[in-house]
Chains A and B, each alone.
Chain A
Amino acid sequence: MHIKKEMKLADVIQLNYMLIPVIHRFGINLGFGDKTVAAVCEENEVDLNFFLQLVNAYHDKDYFPKEELQSIPSKDIVTYLKMTHSSYLNEKLSEIEDLIEALQHTETEDEKYILLIRNFYEGYKNELTEHIMHEEEVVFPYVLTVEEICKAGVISEKNQKIYDSFSILKYQDAHDDVEEKLMDLKTIMIKYLTPPLNTNLYHKIIQDLFKLEEDLNYHSRIEDKVLTPKVILMEKSIKNLL
Chain B
Amino acid sequence: MARSTILIAENSFLIRKGLRSTLHSLENTEIVQSIDNKDDVCKIVNQIKPDILIINPELLPTNCPDLKRNFKNGNKLSLILISDQKNIKEELKADGYIHYLDGKNTILDLLQEILNEKNQNSITDKNADVISAREKNILKHIALGLTNKEIADQLFISIHTVVTHRKNITQKLGIKSVSGLTVYAILHKLISMDEVK
Contact = CB atoms under 8 A, between A and B. Distances in A.
Question: Do the two shown chains form a genuine complex with each other?
Answer: yes
Interface of A: 62, 112-113, 116-117, 120, 123, 180-181, 183-185, 187-188, 191-193
Interface of B is mostly: helix
6 contacts: A181-B179, A183-B176, A184-B175, A187-B173, A188-B180, A192-B184
A120 B193 contact: no
Interface in B165-183: 173-177, 179-180, 183
Contact of B180 (A62, A113, A187): A187
B194 to A, nearest CB: 11
A106 to B, nearest CB: 18
B193 A188 contact: no
B174 A120 contact: no
A181 B177 contact: yes
Chain B: interface size category = 10 to 19
Given A112-B193, A116-B183, A192-B187, A180 B174 contact: no
A184 B177 contact: yes
Interface string B33-47: 010000000000000
Contacts of A187: 173-175, 180
B186 A185 contact: no
Contact of A120 (B34, B176, B180, B188): B180
B176 A180 contact: yes
Interface of B: 20, 34, 173-177, 179-180, 183-184, 186-188, 193
Nearest to A112: B193
A192 B129 CA distance: 13
A125 to B, nearest CB: 12
Nearest to B33: A62
A62 B16 CA distance: 10
Contact of A62 (B34, B175, B187): B34
A188 B184 contact: yes
A192 B34 CA distance: 34
B28 to A, nearest CB: 11
Contacts of B184: 188, 192
B179 A188 contact: no
Contacts of B186: 116
Contacts of A183: 176
Contacts of B34: 62
Contacts of B179: 120, 123, 181, 184
A183 B181 CA distance: 12
